A and B are shown apart, each in its own frame.
Chain A
Amino acid sequence: MNEGDRVGDRRLLRRELRTSRATPAVVVAVVLLGAALGTAAAAIWTTDPSGASLVQDGAVAVRTAWEEPSWRAAAAAVAGIAGIALIVLAIAPGRRRRHGRGGARVELVVDDGLLADAAAQAVARHCALAASQVSATVTARRVRVRIRPISGVPVDRAGAADAARGALERMGFGIRPVVTVDAKGVVA
C-alpha cells in the first residue's frame, strides 16, 4: 500500500467519524435559493407599474412593522439565535458516537454503544455479576463503567478496569476505563 492509499484510507475513516453537515447546508441553501429567486422576481416585476405598486405596498407594510420595537426585537432575536446556531454547526467538529481505527487491510468503525456493551459484559463476567448490574458509557477518550455490587460482596475494582480495558484492546481501541462502584448494593 503506497502513501497515497494510506491518506485515502484515513480520509475514508474521517468521513465515517465526522458528520458532513449536508442536511443543515441543504436546508440553508433551499432557504437562500427562495430568497434569491424572490429578490430577482421582485426586481424584474417592479419594472411593470402594476407590479411596482404591489411591491411598494408590501415594502410599506414591512417598514411599518420594522418601526415597531417589539417586532424588531423579535426579528433580531430569531436572526441572532439562527446565526449563532449556524456558526456553531459550521465550526463544531460534529463527532459521531463512534470510534474508528485503521488496520492492515480494513478500516474499522464501531459504534460507541457496542464498545460499551463489550466492556460491560467483560466486567460482569470478571466480577461474576448479572449483566444488568453493570453499565458502561463510552465517550471520546474513556469508558465509564458503573457497577452495582451484591450487598456484602467486595468488588475487585482494578480487575474490573483491566477486564474493560482488555475487551476494548482486543478490538484495537485503547480507551481508558473509569470504574465506579455504587455504595448501595443489591440483594442477591
Chain B
Amino acid sequence: MSSSSRILNRVLLLLAGLIAFVGALFAARPLLPERLFAPWWPPVQRAIDDASHAVSSWSTPWAAADGARIAAAAGGVIAAIALIAFLLTRRRPRTRTVLRFQDRTGSTAVDETIADAVLTEPFRHRSDVLSSRMQGYRVAGRTALRLSVVPRSGADLPALLAETERGVERWDALSGTRTPVVVHFADRGGFDRLRSATRTR
C-alpha cells in the first residue's frame, strides 16, 4: 500500500463519517428544536425536492424505466466498481524478491531468504534474543527490508543495534547495493512475556 493509498483510507473514513453524521442530523431533525434547523433547512429541502423531481422526470427513449431508477442503478454500479478497486489495492506490498540484477544475458532475482540468512543469522546464537525475522516490501517504488527482533527481558539494546548494523554492512557488501533497512525492536507479546531473562540450554 503506497502513501497515497494510506491517504485514501483516511479520505474514505472521513467521507463515510460525514455521510453518517449528516444522516444522523437528518434523522434527528423532527426530534430536535425547530429553531436549530429553521434558518438553513428550507433551502436544503427545496434543493433536494428539485433534484428528485428533475431525476424522476428524466426519461430515456431506449428504456421504459424512469430516470430515478436508472440513476440509482448507474450510481450503485459506479460506486461498487470504485470500492472493489479500493479493496483490491489494500494489501501490504510484500515482496519475496529483495534484489534484482539485470545484464545482457538476463536477470537474476535474489529471494528474501538470502537476506534473512545474512541479517538474522547473528541473532540465532544470542541468548538475549527470543526471535528475529526479516521481510521485504515495496514502498515508494523501492524495495526495503524490515528486520524485526524480539529481545529477551533485560537485553542490551545498544549491543543488539550494533550487531544489526554489522549484519547490514555484511548485506551491503554481499549485495553491492544499499537497500533501505528498518530495524524494529519489538516488545514481547503473549507467552513471551512470561519467559525468563536468561536462556538455559
Shortest A70–chain B CB gap in Å is: 10
Report if B139 contacts A (CB, 8 A): yes
Complex alpha-carbon distance, A145 and B17, angstroms: 39
Interface residues in B1-58 (C-beta closer than 8 Å to A): 1, 3, 6, 8-14, 16-25, 27-28, 30-31
Closest to A77 in B: B24
Report if A8 contacts B (CB, 8 A): yes
Interface size class of A (residues with CB under 8 A): 35 or more
Report if B144 contacts A (CB, 8 A): yes
Shortest A80–chain B CB gap in Å is: 4
What residues of A have a CB within 8 angstroms of the CB of B70 in the complex? 43
Shortest B185–chain A CB gap in Å is: 5
- Count B-side interface residues using an 8 Å CB cutoff: 65
Interface residues in A88-108 (C-beta closer than 8 Å to B): 88-91, 98, 105-108
In the complex, the answer to whether A33 meets B83 with C-beta atoms within 8 Å is yes
What residues of B have a CB within 8 angstroms of the CB of A26 in the complex? 87, 90
In the complex, the answer to whether B76 meets A39 with C-beta atoms within 8 Å is yes
Complex alpha-carbon distance, A113 and B80, angstroms: 42
Q: Which DSSP category, helix, strand, loop or mixed, fits chain B's interface?
A: helix
In the complex, the answer to whether B23 meets A73 with C-beta atoms within 8 Å is no
In the complex, the answer to whether B144 meets A73 with C-beta atoms within 8 Å is no
Closest to A87 in B: B17
Complex alpha-carbon distance, A143 and B76, angstroms: 51
In the complex, the answer to whether B79 meets A76 with C-beta atoms within 8 Å is no
In the complex, the answer to whether A107 meets B183 with C-beta atoms within 8 Å is yes
Interface residues in B86-142 (C-beta closer than 8 Å to A): 86-87, 90, 139-140, 142
In the complex, the answer to whether B3 meets A11 with C-beta atoms within 8 Å is yes
Complex alpha-carbon distance, A171 and B165, angstroms: 13
In the complex, the answer to whether B9 meets A76 with C-beta atoms within 8 Å is no
What residues of B have a CB within 8 angstroms of the CB of A12 in the complex? 139, 144, 180, 182
In the complex, the answer to whether B27 meets A75 with C-beta atoms within 8 Å is yes
> 24 A-B residue contacts at CB 8 Å?
A8-B140, A11-B140, A21-B10, A25-B86, A26-B87, A32-B83, A36-B79, A38-B76, A40-B72, A40-B75, A69-B30, A72-B28, A79-B21, A80-B21, A82-B17, A84-B21, A86-B16, A86-B17, A89-B13, A106-B168, A106-B183, A109-B183, A114-B151, A118-B157
Residues of A within 8 A of B (CB): 1, 5, 8-9, 11-13, 15-16, 20-22, 24-26, 28-30, 32-33, 36-44, 46-47, 69, 72-73, 75-80, 82-91, 98, 105-114, 117-118, 121, 170-171
Residues of B within 8 A of A (CB): 1, 3, 6, 8-14, 16-25, 27-28, 30-31, 64-65, 69-70, 72-73, 75-77, 79-80, 83-84, 86-87, 90, 139-140, 142, 144, 151, 153-154, 157-158, 161, 164-165, 168-169, 172, 178, 180-188
Instruction: Apart from A8-B140, A33-B84, list 4 A-B contacts with CB within 8 A.
Output: A32-B16, A87-B14, A106-B168, A117-B154
